[in-house]
Structure 1
């Protein structure tokens, strides 16, 4: 049996029949991989394959790179001759699992591999646990990890570490084995090729001088000439070289912004870098005659992520605070019941952030204020409002027809008055544009408070935190829920 395996080669990766194959003198890659459709899986990367070869009795290895498709058609440069115990690796052209859409976000990293050569060995040692939840079985991350680990271990004073690095505008930046005769073009192929954003006129190699980590040189190269020029322009890679592929200056992918509601031409627009909302509103033909600019809702994805993190943190803190209280005052008639507490906690934990960025759309539309747009931004412009909403600790939370001259106190009376646990000293107004208005005086019920109200506003009566064993987080929690609710209602009215 040992003799049989000694005279064999191993086929690993995105192939139909992986395993050991008999070796004989003169055998080549094309004798093992004879057909693209017959021997390779559909996801196989036809441009990048590796041959790993043991070079001494200690099991040290060297790595050769070849083009899988060209090897199959017996191209002499890529159809490498095989030695006993060689390993042929065929990679998937995908890194991320396509079925479950999993990424390394769950483990605290991005989908790209660690791009530090010095940390490559650590990545290899932890690869089984890390990549099992994130990458396809035949991804570069999975198949390269043991090779990188081996190359790291066999490095010595006599032989520099055979690893190189590539960063920038390539599909899979990271650390790769330095292959025999490896050049810049080979490393780009290993990294899955260039992205659309790659700047091909210039790239940079950072290289250690005479193997001294304290001395480096930065070599500027014309990428087009190095890859597509004659042999004299080709650049061989050295140990610990780091290749950086620049992005086209001011490059950005197609950035989409959505306009909805009362505009002449609502829809999804592709914008250029630095374009403002004022410019986009002009492209959209401006507002319809029924638009209520003051009540516009502007949604930004980065704000939504921040809000979601804040909600999760607040829910955790609030649940911990509730759990730590003794409930010794729960027998009092003013205290909230367990069911009420649990309901608010569950509401807070399950609510989805809106991501509303408060803007003054009339100022923006008149070019008196700038708002630079980002990918995923959405503007909702509702129709004219004629109502005032009252929410929170009132006996009948509802919406009333707006009438000039009606004060806050009048609307509270129309809603049945305040509940016992209402905090009447902290009543506030959420304006139609999402901002919060607090009066200059503490007298909320003066007649002149009617001047503070406009159609589309919402009067919020918060809960007195003293009714919850002085849990100071309750006030914050309820305010967030109210403001999110107002934003959702505004969007839902379109």
Structure 2
């Protein structure tokens, strides 16, 4: 509810009068608009909408007051919504065209116009490589990162110590018993103008001091009791829009100059715009902020990089100067440290500080000493810095420190490998100083350990290695003295299996999974057959043979090279008595066990054979697959089983194929004379194709027009070639041949000057081969060159005689 004081009533009528003036002025911009149909907002141009927005802002009315006054003048809620949308779109488009980003004043705080932006070069600074160094200056990458601009956050609350100045915009909201709202921009003179109140000077005050001064003047100007306890009228003063300030960066920065930033901008923000300190010459630890010719803060960027300390990132004021000094001392630290780089050192700092800048030693660093290369007046010298000197050693300009890597060597390691329970590396220490103690620490020997001999590989003083062998069994039993161990000793205990071939047995023949498997003791023939998946259907279980190597040495030379054993088994893997072995007549089937390298053969039954079949198709009554009935069945027999030939069958063109290849046979006589040679025995997978009679002849190869022509009874070989245009110039006429439809071939025969061409049958293919290309034939240019050389030689020879 509004108060009835004089200032409030005057302000209310003044605002309404101003709004009515704006609306009538707006309609006066285009008198014809009111006479046109449709929404008046749609008929306004962008320039008219911007003019309306500018005048509405200058009126000082709140958004709600403008909407109410517009509705009283005939504008609908739809018109108002359209107007707000068009204002937002036009302002967004304007900001994009300027390449800057601003917030809508109805949404919150905005950035001022004309702020400096970081220069984006065609070749960014991050892409420039320094060819004089292979290692970077520590901290140089901080300002190369485009995602770390240090721009101020406009959504934070206004800092209470913020000093207001010209172009800042202050928002005043009055609520409670009185309700009002003002957006006041500070003039270049440093004042704000509240309607009906004399100008209020606020420039140079903090936002808190400006708030107190403005409220005090409003209270005196008509808002009685404003801000006083119990009055029921409250005021809130905030910074709605901020101004821009200008700061200057000088010294060793990448891009020195004067930059325009927001009044909330910080020192890091300004340094980012200038590209940061110059990595070649600038200091990262002595950056001065000068205000009124006095240094108010010195920035050490290492505090921020290493500890995220932003105490020096202070907010800048107008006309502040940031100076980046030249560096005084820089040193290089490389090798086994976490952050190898070039570091800047301040007076009073030691090598320990430099190590902390680099993140300390790496995991494999040699810490006993650090190698230093230091420049002298005429040359360089090497300095070795011990671990005890690091904390007090003072770096000098141009020092290069290198941290080495520890050696791949152990000061107290011994090793044990082979047939022990826990092979590996162990520490040579009290309680583990001898071979026996090492074996006990490895939890003893395995059962397959070969105890007659063990070896120690020992490193001599000259780094050569020597072998020490001993009887491990006697040592473990205490029959010989225990052997002391030295650093780097490697003890190897052999296994029995290491000293023999790999044992295996093999099974072949009519079993489901013939294989070679690892030998295990106490394995019988039946066990091996079971592991091979049992007998195949065609197996003959009562004929199983075992071939065994002769392992026993003998004085003489034996006539046999191995021992053979035969067994009779049934399908249940029950073994019948073993045939008597002349070498061991006491052997029995029950006690027979396989030995390493035995080969077991399971024979197939002589009467067992898988089905075999041939495929017959074409001009037969019943085409399809036919099983081969017996081993004497021939082509004529399978034709008869297929029901014989159809009336249109052409036996001269019948093709008989075996394993994918055509067998060149004339099958025309097999039906009349089954004893003809062409009546072949059938094999598994054979194919017989009996076509219909063909009525064409194909002519291919070195003819003018390779084609297919119709068969004519009176035509011979040459006639069909003529039908294809005759031979070409590069045809080998004497080598022309014919391929008959049954797969047989016939060639042209010559005797003296006589040629005998093969006869032509329907479905045949005449082939005229091409002459081979003469790659050795000389070209015309080559022949002319040779003749010229020969002529020159002849002239030279003749000139000697005449």
Structure with the largest fraction of helix? 1
Larger relative contact order (C-alpha < 8 A, sep ≥ 6)?
1
Greater CA radius of gyration, 1 or 2?
2
Normalising by structure 1, report the TM-score: 0.49
